[in-house]
Every structure is written in structure tokens, then in C-alpha cells.
């Protein structure tokens, strides 16, 4: 528990100190924002700051910090380090600067921003790399809440159909009609769930493995030959939304179109990411008890028949019911079901906006929205059918989502770095995370079972080679810019 308490304190301090430092690096001012200058009653609408914060939090949260924290906890307390350091120095920086850059560019989406700073060819690649993961995200965020709702009654596919109907409505309607009214309630539900579990942690004060004595891969030690993932890079792909997530870069422009002042940016963008880090920290700690507290937590809960390999949705269901009783069951439904559904609808909404910006399609006529939404939903349904039919389909889809997710963050961080260099600002705040995530994603691509699956003796040196290439590329480019400036 000491590691949890120190990590929680670090996240809070990170918001007040490093968050303020990053804010000074960017330098928000009183210029007119897109919510005012481009108001259209559909996507560009000035909303109260507290409402934008709750929507942003729910947009980026979803099942990410919950399931990511649960699956990341299988590695042991090393997950704490990634959640804390990744959230403060990478994820929150990524979200804040991406959101502020979008505001400075008229509410531009991720492909447009990346194209502006990394070139038109990169912008074209980013269209595919952005929209496809959004469709995958929407698909993941359909199935996981349907599984939990199924435990309360009804068929899984019935719940899938109901959620899809909601997605269509929320994606098509003005942002203040459904999302602006429902999301604050969903956000409160998720925060209540995390808060209740945090209270129970302090009530129970379980004996948990601590960072200083368990930095090795505890999953591999406890399950020889069965849990084979390496801490690097698997942990940094598994815990994405609770530390840094490229998916967030697709969501922040939506809220950049709803902020009435740039000075609200740190609270909304940096603050929402820190809040998500807290949720991931709580979920990881509860899961650490479930997997490792002696005797193992799953042995103390009726129905945890799969032990260490209990699925993430089932861990949520079992622990909430065991620790919180009937109240826990209700909170699990409201928080852990509402969160992914809310991220799913904004995933599709972001996809609609990105495609519309790319093709220059006016979104005010309903038929124009349908031209984009129908193909997206059809693709999502096809992926969902595949996910259900393939053994372990959910985990497979999640790993692909994680890889694409973190790859998006790499492009965004490099675009932010180019902007900071061009503006003669402190570029180290984004350069270091950019280099680190470049190494994570390239190494994962080389060694993962889901991709090339090269031997470690080949894959890891290739990952380091990519890091060296990135360093050389940046150094050459930076010197060229300085000479030209």
C-alpha cells in the first residue's frame, strides 16, 4: 500500500507543479477560441469549463485505464512507475499540448495537425492510422460493456445492438444535446466507482507487493511458461490510456472546439489525464490484490474460476460485488459500463469529424453525416463478428488497439516537438517522451507475437537502432532549422 500512496501523491503533485510548468512552456493567452469564432451549433459550441472537463475525462477514459490497469497489474508493481511517470511526463503533456495546438489551429483534428508539422505525406498516412484505430476502439467499447451487462440479464448480442443504436444517435446529434448532458453523469459514476474502491483499499489496507522489492516481471515468476510477455515493451502497450495514449489525440480536438478560453486548457486537458491516471492506479492496485496478495485475492472470491487469467471485465465485476456489495454492482454498471460506451460514441464521432475535414464535407446536413457514419459502423460490426468468433478475440483486438494507439502518440509527440522547436520553446518536454515511445512501438513491432515476432536477440537491437535513427534525424533537422532561423 505504501507504493500506492506514494504514487497517488506523485500524480497530484505532478498536476500542480509539472502541469503548470508545461502550461508556461506553451503560453496560453486571451485570443478568441474556435468555440467562439467558428460557432456552428453542432461541433463548435462553447460549453462551461466543468462540463468540458467531464466530457474530456470520459472521452479519454473508457475501458482504457480500467482494463489497462488490470492487465498491466499482472506485471507487478512496476506498473505503478509507468502509470505515474508516463502520466505526468508523457500522457498529460501529450494531451495538453495537442489540445492547445488544436485550439490555435481552428480546432483542427489530429491528421491536419500532424500534416502541418510533419508534412503532407505523413498527413495522408495519418488518416488511415487515425480512423482505423477509432473504429477498433468503438468496437472494443461495444463488446466489453455488453459482457458486463449480460451478467445482469439478457443476451450479449442484445446489449451490443442497444449500444450500437445509442452510438448512431450520439454520433449524429449536436454535441450539446446528448454528450453534453449525459457525460457529466457518466463521469461522476466512474469517479464514484474508483473512489469507492480507493476507500476500500484504505479500509482493508491489504498487504501488497511494493515497488522496491518487486521490479521484476511478477506475472512470469508466478506463472512460468504461461505469462510470457516482457515488461519492455509489453507493459507500455498494455497500459496506454492510464499513462499515454494516442487515442486521446483524436478526442482533444473535439473539446478544443468547445473551450471558451485557452486558459482553461491545463485544467481540462492536463487535469483530465491526471484524473485518468488516478483511476488506472486504483484499478492496478485492486488488481494487484486480486492477483498477488497472499492468499491470492481470486481464491477469496466465489466465481473467480480462472484465477490469474481472469478476464479484465470479470475482475471488475467480481471485485466490485465482493468489496462493495449491491452498491458495488450498481457502481460497476454505471461507471465501468458507462465509461467505455461514452468513449465508443466519441470514437465514432471523432472518426466522422476527421473524415469530414479530410473530404471537406459540410456536416450540418444529416445525409452528409450518414455518408461517413454508415461505412464506419459497417466496418465496426464486421470487426465485432470476427472478435466474437475468434478464440481470445477480445485480447487480440485489445493488443492491436494498444499498438495502433501508442503509434498515434508517437506521431503526435513528434508533431508537438516540431512546433515547439519552430516557436523556440522548451522542446525537451515532448522530445524525451517522443524518443521513448518511438522505441517502445518499434520494439513491440519487432518482438510481439501479434506482429513480426522476431527473436529477442534481433528485435531488441532493431528497436535500439530505431532510437538511434530518431536521435540522428532530429539532431540533423534541428541544426538545419537553427541555421535557417
**Cα-to-chain-centroid distance, residue 451:** 21
What is the average per-residue pLDDT within 39-45?
A: 88
Q: What is the pLDDT of residue 392?
A: 66
* Neighbouring residues of 401: CB distance < 8 A, sequence distance ≥ 6: 133, 136, 137, 140
Residue ranges per structural domain of the chain = 2-396
DSSP conformational letter for 296: P
Distances (CA, A) of 125 to 122, 244, 470: 5, 21, 19
Which residue do the cell numbers 503560453 mark? 27
Distance CA 374, CA 13 (A): 45
More confident residue, 425 or 353: 425
173, with CB counted inside 10 A (0-12, 13-18, 19+), is middle
Query: What is each CA distance from 154 to 24, 321, 451, in whole angstroms?
Result: 52, 19, 36
Our measurement of the distance from residue 46's CA atom to the centroid of its chain's CA atoms, rounded to an integer in Å, reads 24
The tens digit of pLDDT for each residue in 203-256 reads 999 889 999 988 899 998 888 888 888 999 999 998 988 899 988 888 899 899
- If DSSP codes are grouped into helix, strand and coil, which group holds residue 75? helix
Q: How far is CA 273 from CA 37, 112, 392, in A?
A: 27, 23, 30
Cα–chain center distance at 338? 15
Q: Going by C-beta distance under 8 Å and a sequence separation of 6 or more, which residues neighbour residue 42?
A: 174, 175, 363, 364
For residue 215 the three cell numbers come to 521490479
| Cα(457)–Cα(461) distance, integer angstroms | 7
Smallest CA-to-CA distance from 292 within 70, 83, 84 is with 70
**For all residues of the chain together, what is the average pLDDT?**
88
Comparing C-alpha atoms, which of 153, 140, 120 is closest to residue 64? 140
pLDDT in tens, 270-312: 999 999 999 999 999 999 999 998 788 888 888 888 889 887 8
Domain 2-396 has CATH 3.40.190.10: no
Alpha-carbon span 359 to 127, nearest angstrom:
11
Q: In whole angstroms, what is the distance from residue 319 CA to residue 24 CA?
A: 42
Which residue, among 379, 317, 391, 344, has the nearest Cα to 162 in the 3D structure?
Answer: 344
SS (H, E, C) 174-197: CCCCCHHHHHHHHHHHHHHHHHHH
Contact 364, 174 (CB under 8 A): no
Q: How crowded is the C-beta side of 184, counted as CA atoms within 13 Å? A: 12
**pLDDT number for residue 332:** 66
Q: Which residue has the cell 524525451?
A: 432
Q: Decide if pLDDT at 7 tops 70.
A: yes
How far, in Å, CA of 136 to CA of 125, rounded? 17
User: Is a pLDDT exceeding 60 seen at residue 485?
Assistant: no
- Whether 482 shows a pLDDT value over 70: the answer reads yes
pLDDT at 322 over 60: yes
What band does 78 get if pLDDT is binned at 50, 70 and 90? very high
CA distance 281 to 289: 13
Q: Averaged over 95-119, what is the pLDDT?
A: 91
Report the distance separating Cα 239 and Cα 234, nearest Å.
9
| Residue 411, CA distances (Å) to 22, 37, 75, 92 in order | 19, 28, 27, 16
Expressed in angstroms, the distance from the first to the final Cα of the chain is 52
Task: Cite the DSSP H helix spans in 1-118.
Answer: 2-16, 18-26, 34-37, 49-61, 64-72, 78-86, 92-104, 110-118
Q: How far apart are CA 135 and CA 279, in angstroms?
A: 24
Residue corresponding to grid cell 522530445 = 431
The 10 Å Cβ neighbour count of residue 11 is 21
* Nearest C-alpha neighbor of 8 from the set 239, 266, 281: 281
Tens of pLDDT, residues 331-347: 666 666 777 777 778 78
Amino acid at each position: 500500500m505504501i507504493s500506492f500512496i506514494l504514487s497517488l501523491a506523485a500524480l497530484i503533485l505532478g498536476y500542480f507543479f509539472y502541469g503548470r510548468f508545461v502550461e508556461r512552456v506553451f503560453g496560453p493567452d486571451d485570443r478568441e477560441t474556435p468555440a467562439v469564432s467558428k460557432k456552428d451549433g453542432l461541433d463548435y459550441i462553447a460549453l462551461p469549463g466543468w462540463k468540458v472537463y467531464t466530457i474530456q475525462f470520459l472521452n479519454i477514459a473508457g475501458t482504457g485505464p480500467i482494463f489497462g490497469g488490470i492487465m498491466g497489474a499482472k506485471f507487478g508493481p512496476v506498473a505503478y512507475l509507468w502509470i505515474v511517470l508516463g502520466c505526468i511526463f508523457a500522457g498529460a503533456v501529450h494531451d495538453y499540448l495537442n489540445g492547445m495546438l488544436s485550439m490555435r489551429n481552428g480546432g483542427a483534428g489530429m491528421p491536419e495537425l500532424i500534416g502541418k508539422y510533419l508534412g503532407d505525406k505523413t498527413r495522408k498516412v495519418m488518416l488511415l492510422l487515425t480512423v482505423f484505430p477509432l473504429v477498433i476502439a468503438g468496437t472494443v467499447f461495444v463488446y466489453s460493456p455488453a459482457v458486463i451487462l449480460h451478467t445482469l440479464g439478457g443476451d450479449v448480442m442484445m446489449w451490443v445492438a442497444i449500444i450500437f443504436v445509442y452510438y448512431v444517435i450520439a454520433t449524429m446529434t449536436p454535441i450539446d444535446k446528448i454528450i453534453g448532458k449525459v457525460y457529466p453523469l457518466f463521469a461522476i459514476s466512474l469517479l464514484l466507482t474508483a473512489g469507492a474502491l480507493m476507500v476500500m483499499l484504505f479500509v482493508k489496507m491489504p498487504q501488497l507487493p511494493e515497488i522496491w522489492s518487486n521490479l521484476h516481471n511478477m506475472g512470469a515468476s508466478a506463472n512460468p511458461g504461461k505469462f510470457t510477455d516482457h515488461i519492455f515493451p509489453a507493459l507500455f502497450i498494455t497500459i496506454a490510456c492510464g499513462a499515454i495514449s494516442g487515442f486521446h489525440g483524436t478526442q482533444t480536438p473535439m473539446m478544443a472546439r468547445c473551450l471558451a478560453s485557452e486558459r482553461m486548457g491545463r485544467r481540462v486537458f492536463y487535469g483530465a489525464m491526471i484524473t485518468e491516471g488516478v483511476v488506472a492506479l486504483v484499478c492496478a492496485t485492486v488488481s494487484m490484490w486480486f492477483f498477488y496478495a497472499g492468499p491470492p485475492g481470486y481464491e477469496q472470491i466465489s466465481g473467480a474460476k480462472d484465477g490469474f487469467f481472469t478476464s479484465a471485465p470479470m475482475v471488475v465485476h467480481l471485485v466490485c460485488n465482493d468489496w462493495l456489495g449491491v452498491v458495488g454492482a450498481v457502481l460497476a454498471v454505471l461507471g465501468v459500463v458507462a465509461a467505455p460506451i461514452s468513449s465508443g460514441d466519441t470514437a465514432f464521432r471523432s472518426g466522422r469529424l476527421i473524415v469530414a475535414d479530410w473530404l471537406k464535407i459540410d456536416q450540418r446536413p444529416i445525409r452528409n453525416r450518414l455518408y461517413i457514419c454508415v461505412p464506419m459502423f459497417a466496418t465496426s460490426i464486421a470487426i465485432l463478428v470476427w472478435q466474437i468468433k475468434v478464440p481470445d478475440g477480445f485480447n487480440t483486438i485489445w493488443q492491436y488497439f494498444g499498438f495502433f494507439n501508442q503509434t498515434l502518440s508517437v506521431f503526435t509527440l513528434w508533431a508537438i516537438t516540431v512546433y515547439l522547436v519552430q516557436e523556440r520553446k522548451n522542446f525537451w518536454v515532448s522530445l524525451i517522451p517522443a524518443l521513448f515511445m518511438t522505441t517502445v512501438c518499434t520494439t513491440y513491432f519487432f518482438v510481439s507475437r501479434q506482429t513480426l515476432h522476431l527473436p529477442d536477440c534481433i528485435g531488441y537491437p532493431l528497436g535500439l537502432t530505431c532510437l538511434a535513427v530518431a536521435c540522428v534525424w532530429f539532431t540533423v533537422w534541428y541544426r538545419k532549422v537553427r541555421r535557417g532561423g
